[in-house]
Amino acid sequence: MPVRPLVSYSIERIEVLGEDGTVDQGLMPSLSPGDIKRLYAHMVLTRQVDERMFKLQRQGRLGTFARVAGQEGAHVGAAFALRATDWLVPAFRETGALLLRGIPIAQLLQFWGGDERGGKFPKELRTLPVAIPVGTHMLHAVGIGWAMKASAEDAAVLTIFGEGATSEGDFSEAMNMAGVFQAPVVFFCQNNQYAISVPFTRQTASPTVAQKALAFGMFGVQVDGNDVFAVYRAVSEALERARTSGEPTLIEALTYRVTDHTTSDDARRYREDEEVAPWRGRDPIERLARYMRANGLLDEAGEAEVLAEADRQVAEAVAAFEALDPPGPEEIFAHVYAEKTAPLLEQEAALRVRLAGGTSGGAGGTSANEPAEGV
């Protein structure tokens, strides 16, 4: 019998907004002038929050965190497509998406300041906490999507991750389950070219992340991640497919991490400035600003006003964060389980006694000079 092809495929790339600020009107998504102004203002706010967080970390007033400068067009554009009834399941480089979702700046500062109370997001925002373990949150997203499908909810899930997460088994498991059970999940990969110091070309032999969708029976597409219009268009369409037919989608937003991986990293050790410079010229905020200036949506006065308002919000948030009462050491027991287990309660009681300078009456008679087991 002759050899015959079983599968053929091609991966589309969506670009709407050029680096010069011009757009392809045939691909331009339905966004009002007000929508575009809000997108711009939110991207500027995200940049200013990121810059202030960096300064706070260097001053010892904030812990290690992952910067997002240069990637605002990707995760802000994606989150802008969500409805209030949808779910957002983020990783750790989605500051703008979390702010757009309604998480207060001060609460994010609280989280990155090492106070776990900052990770308790309001339930009505339908947003899971920051996920530090790489890739694990994608499985949670599929679980949420599957549950919503079972209850016939008219909603979808957007989960965001980096291309480094696609090297984890969790990615394949989540994609496979979403494809098999047709869970209404949009997998949004911010391909910023580096998993810490490992370049994309050393993570996979695939030319794109988007083509990995084929193996799991779902649609995959690549977008220019520094083009907020392309991102919004692709995510909006994917979320609508998810809501109406339960069809999952993999979107690869091709962008670049112009800063270090985190504030404890030094990217100069593994890449040259000559590689970074062109990407700084593709800044998503400036690209959008060029379009807005050309279309009468932004002028110098408006630009200064947006920046001043962002700085005001950031300053107020920093003051509110630093005015918070610090958590007591017993707070470490509050966020392990939804309900504290018996051993956890015993350990907490032992710690309280120890802090008070007494002797624990727990198992083994732990003294004030001996650490309670598991603490």
Q: Which of 91, 95, 166 is nearest to 131 (CA)?
A: 91
- Give yes or no: 261 in active site: yes
Catalytic pick among 117, 202, 270, 312: 270
**Alpha-carbon distance 170 to 168, whole Å?**
5
pLDDT-derived band at 375, boundaries 50, 70, 90: very low
- Give yes or no: 257 in active site: yes
Which stretches does DSSP call E strand in 257-298?
none
- Per-residue pLDDT tens for 347-374? 999 999 998 886 655 444 444 344 444 4
- Determine the angle formed by the axes of helices 228-245 and 284-294, rounding to 10 degrees: 100
CB atoms within 10 A of CB 140: 17
**Alpha-carbon distance 350 to 375, whole Å?**
9
- Paired residues of 290 in beta bridges: none
All structural domains of the chain, each given as residue ranges with its CATH number in brackets, are 12-322 (3.40.50.970), 328-375 (no CATH)
- Per-residue pLDDT tens for 120-153? 999 999 999 999 999 999 999 999 999 999 999 9
Query: Can you say whether residue 102 is alpha, beta or left, with left for phi > 0 and alpha for psi between -120 and 50 degrees?
Result: left
What is the number of alpha carbons within 13 Å of residue 301 lying toward its C-beta? 1
- Per-residue pLDDT tens for 31-82? 999 999 999 999 999 999 999 999 999 999 999 999 999 999 999 999 999 9
Residue 2 has pLDDT above 90, yes or no: no
- Per-residue pLDDT tens for 318-327? 999 999 998 8
Catalytic pick among 52, 101, 261, 354: 261
**Alpha-carbon distance 331 to 328, whole Å?**
6
pLDDT-derived band at 335, boundaries 50, 70, 90: confident
Catalytic pick among 257, 282, 287, 354: 257
| pLDDT value for 371 | 42
Under a CB-based contact definition with an 8 Å cutoff, are residues 108 and 118 in contact? Answer: yes
Can you say how many angstroms the Cα of residue 32 is from the centroid of all Cα atoms in its chain? 25
Q: Which of 139, 160, 179, 152 is nearest to 243 (CA)?
A: 152
